[in-house]
Chain A
Amino acid sequence: QVQLQESGPGLVKPSQTLSLTCTVSGGSISSGGYYWSWIRQHPGKGLEWIGYIYYSGSTYYNPSLKSRVTISVDTSKNQFSLKLSSVTAADTAVYYCARVEGASIAAALFDYWGQGTLVTVSS
């Protein structure tokens, strides 16, 4: 059973960089076959896809966030990470990591999710 767990600061100051890590257990990122993703949910709002990464480092990002987002992978630790720069209060959200199932990006679906972590942007 694959499990994902987000970790990182719950409070980030405006203009700084939000950094989160997702630790995967029950499966190896480096075995391939899956992309790994970050998704966020603003308080009381819907879901917003942030981006995906493959174990090789190949990435896709939401065009609306692309200029501020970096997703990276550390296969030795079985982790992948999110960095979001120049944050504002509008980036306050619950951030989820998830595994991406699907034969291609066009068929992508999210089959395993972390529990989510609330990140608040405030001075």
Chain B
Amino acid sequence: QSVLTQPPSVSGAPGQRVTISCTGSSSNIGAGYDVHWYQQLPGTAPKLLIYGNSNRPSGVPDRFSGSKSGTSASLAITGLQAEDEADYYCQSYDSSLSGSSVFGTGTKVTVL
């Protein structure tokens, strides 16, 4: 049912940069609605990582950054660390679904 598509997995060596894409459509990201990102460490609840496309909550390292363009958004992790191994989800609003929040399909980041 996810209307936001993410790659199932990305990987990188420690210190490298990885990016995760979140592709939507004209009724969500393309309509100008904000994109938010969450990190879910194994066995834990998701945690807000990026809000309003590119803003970091207090306490989130600046290694994490977000951007948005057109019908897509991206999360970048620079200087990849072992503790960044987790699942990442984008989230936005979809005007075609009666006030719905929608999540991306999720991406597993593996640190090699």
Residues 85-116 of A, flagged 1 when their CB comes within 8 A of B and 0 if not, give: 00000000000100001000111111101111
Q: Max chain A CB contacts within 10 Å: which of B1, B45, B48, B105? A: B45
Minimal Cβ-Cβ distance residue in A for B87 = A46
Q: Which residue of A lies closest to B44 (CB)?
A: A115
- Interface size of A by Cβ–Cβ distance < 8 Å? 25
Among A37, A48, A114, chain B packs the most CB atoms within 10 A around the CB of A48
Interface size of B in residues (CB-CB distance below 8 Å)? 28
Q: How far is the CB of B9 from chain A (nearest CB, A)?
A: 13
Shortest beta-carbon contacts, A-B, top 5: A60-B99, A113-B45, A46-B106, A109-B36, A47-B103
A111 nearest in chain B by CB position: B48
A115→B106 CA distance, assembly (Å): 19
> A107, B99: Cβ atoms under 8 Å?
no
Most chain B CB within 10 A, of A106, A107, A111, is at A106
